[in-house]
Amino acid sequence: MSSLRVFVTSLGIISPIGENASQTVAALETSACGLAPLALFPSSVEPPLPAGEVKSLAPGAMPRTHRLALSAAREAMATADGPPDAVVMGVTTGGMPASEPLLKNNCVDPAKYRYHGTGTVAHYIAEALGCHGPVLTVSTACSSGMVALKLACELLTSGRARRVLAGGADGLCRLTYYGFNSLQLVDPAGARPFDVDRRGMSVGEGAAMLLLEAAPSPPAGAMAEVMAVGLTCDAYHPAAPHPDGAGALQSMRLAVADAGCAATDIDYINLHGTGTPDNDAAEAKALHAVFDDMPLPPVSSIKGAAGHTLAAAGAVNAAISVLCIAHGIIPANTGCRQPDPGLQLTPVDAPQRRPVELVLSNAFGFGGNNASIVIGKPAQTGLSRRSSNGSTAFAILGSSCLSGAGNCVQTLAALRGAAAVSGIAPAMAVMEGLDEGAVRRLKRLPRMVLSLAIAAQASAGAAAQPKAVFFGTGWGGLSETHDFLTRLFSSGERFTSPTDFIGSVHNAPAGQAAINFQAQGPNITLTDGDYSFEQALYSAGLIAHEAAGPFMVIGADEYHEKLTPLFDASAAAASAAADGGGALLLQPADAATGLRIAPLFVSNDPCSKLTMQRLIAVLGGPENIGKKYGAVFAGIPGSQRDKGNEQLALFIQQTGCNCPVIDYRKFTGQFASASAVAAVIAVACVRAGELPAGLCSAGPASLRGWGILLLGLGQCITAMEILC
């Protein structure tokens, strides 16, 4: 067990009830409500639905989500003596608040969409703060911010970082405002969590960022300690919670157990509490099961005051939990006038002043993604609660890919015959292994992900059932996003598709995979353009030991004829359209032998020679590199061609590398998840002991029993290795 603990040394928060921590505390003390009829953009719903809008947010050139995130980040870092070692954020809307008007007006200038990508928010924060370490973006719907805190804790306790800025942010936009309303999940009277007459949520916006530090005992000024975070997946429904709250129950139990406390030690429970009938009922059932029908401590949700801030919600809840501990306050459950007797809960009806030492907080999202966190008052002595298992070596049980040539077998056959594999993955290959009736309502990306996952599992044998899913996607469901917005705009913002809204969420395909396999462990979607698959694999290296069995790592992106050229600069610069993906069924590798993959390096500093030196040191130095790898697969995005080539030349110069170096995007085509396809091809090459003719101009080349190093170059520098 690790001797390191995780402490919150500062935080920043901006929401409809306060633009900083002090204003937030004042609002909690007075039960202030920030819900009001939407004013940010014209609403076709009359009267406009109540929403949690941050009216104090200053205008600016950056999208609304980015500005909210920067406000919270600057507050959190105001007294820090240097940049964080890493930034981990939960985001779902990204640049959508700025992209929607552009799409509505048929703007076709890709430069205008520069900050559309969900991952651009974390990079914007990292650049503003001077962070050159890992920058990770989680997109697991409304649990995103809390899942980001989990990954940050693992970065710290595994020794990969000393100080991490983590949290979540989302700005109000038409996609979420009209999307949730299309599901009939918005209460026209404003959110009333746990009220007998509750009818739904109120969409909100905001950001919260926590500065986390690893130390054996509380550092000076520590506000609280993150005791534990539990993650589960319902594997039940794309949008609805398990009716008995089974996943929520397990995430709370995991968090409480890992914190080394009993449920009865909890002083206050900060509930997810959206105000929707099903969510509140499921959370209440889970809560009673956690406490085994014993009396509950005070409970409340703040969403009747601030609205549901979506990806920020879990981080906002965590930040408020810290403020409750620091200021001795328990917030009221604003909006609830008559508690629903069927839930057997009595939410706090007025703010309470009392000591708070231990808080349990929840965040649940689409796809059945559940996160629960236990935060405590910092103590000089504490239980070591997390494994320091920093192992990132995974045994490869199965693999699959989709490319322009077709499935994995067809892709490898094309490479052996020196044929191209780039292009749009054929529809027949995408549908392979799928029941047409079962997937009739799914569009291209979730079908790709399901097909990849099923094929990877089948290649490993029926007994190897994945318990967790890690998914990387640069752009998410573009077909669903396009169709939702097209119908919205063409109808004068009166009509939308609830099915397309659910599918537009980046983690929707991973949720489908979890349902297919009944994988109830962590279900995490990472998104950062060309580095999304690498982030998914890297995140698996942080928490896969909690999966208790095999797990799936998938990377996939679809080509959309209208949106891809606008959003993906590399695809826009390519000579031909391409898409596809890859999947690996893995398990922790206890032995140092056998076919295995390891994520080794993630950096947000593309220009520094020092970063290249750090990478080479992580790889064991030039001598070890020369004896370990029989080939290098270099991933150079088309939009980063000059920079990537410079980095590759520097790597070769500093290592003396003389093995074959393959620019794999020349073969796979330009799309965000090309690295997932390259990884599966590399697995096949290492297994066969040679590179196929399609990758080498002089014909097949022997790997001499060595492995393959995969480098990601350009805006970020990443490394993963495949060895036998």
Q: Provide the annotated active-site residues.
A: 142, 272, 308
Rounded to 10°, the helix 96-104/478-490 angle is: 50
Amino acid sitting at position 246: A
Where do we find the tokens 């690893």? 214
Bridge partner residues of 701 (DSSP): 691
Q: Determine the Cα–Cα distance for residues 647 and 51; give it in Å rounded to an integer.
A: 47
Q: Determine the Cα–Cα distance for residues 718 and 615; give it in Å rounded to an integer.
A: 8
What DSSP letter does each residue of 544-581 carry, written as one string? GGGSSS-EEEEEEE---TTTHHHH-HHHHHSSS---EE
For residue 24 the two structure tokens come to 């937030």
Burial of 654 (0-12, 13-18, 19+ CB in 10 A): middle
Q: Determine the Cα–Cα distance for residues 389 and 157; give it in Å rounded to an integer.
A: 9
Distances (CA, A) of 165 to 7, 12, 215, 246, 259: 12, 10, 15, 31, 21
HSE-up of residue 124 (Cα within 13 Å, Cβ side): 27
For residue 453 the two structure tokens come to 């996952």
Q: Determine the Cα–Cα distance for residues 299 and 283; give it in Å rounded to an integer.
A: 12
Q: Determine the Cα–Cα distance for residues 675 and 678; give it in Å rounded to an integer.
A: 5
* 268, 158 contact by CB (below 8 A): no
Taking every pair of Cα atoms in the chain, the longest distance, rounded to a whole number of angstroms, is 77
Burial of 649 (0-12, 13-18, 19+ CB in 10 A): exposed
Bond preceding residue 59 cis, omega within 30 of 0: no
Find, among 331, 540, 554, 371, the residue nearest to 453 by Cα. 554
Q: Determine the Cα–Cα distance for residues 530 and 665; give it in Å rounded to an integer.
A: 11
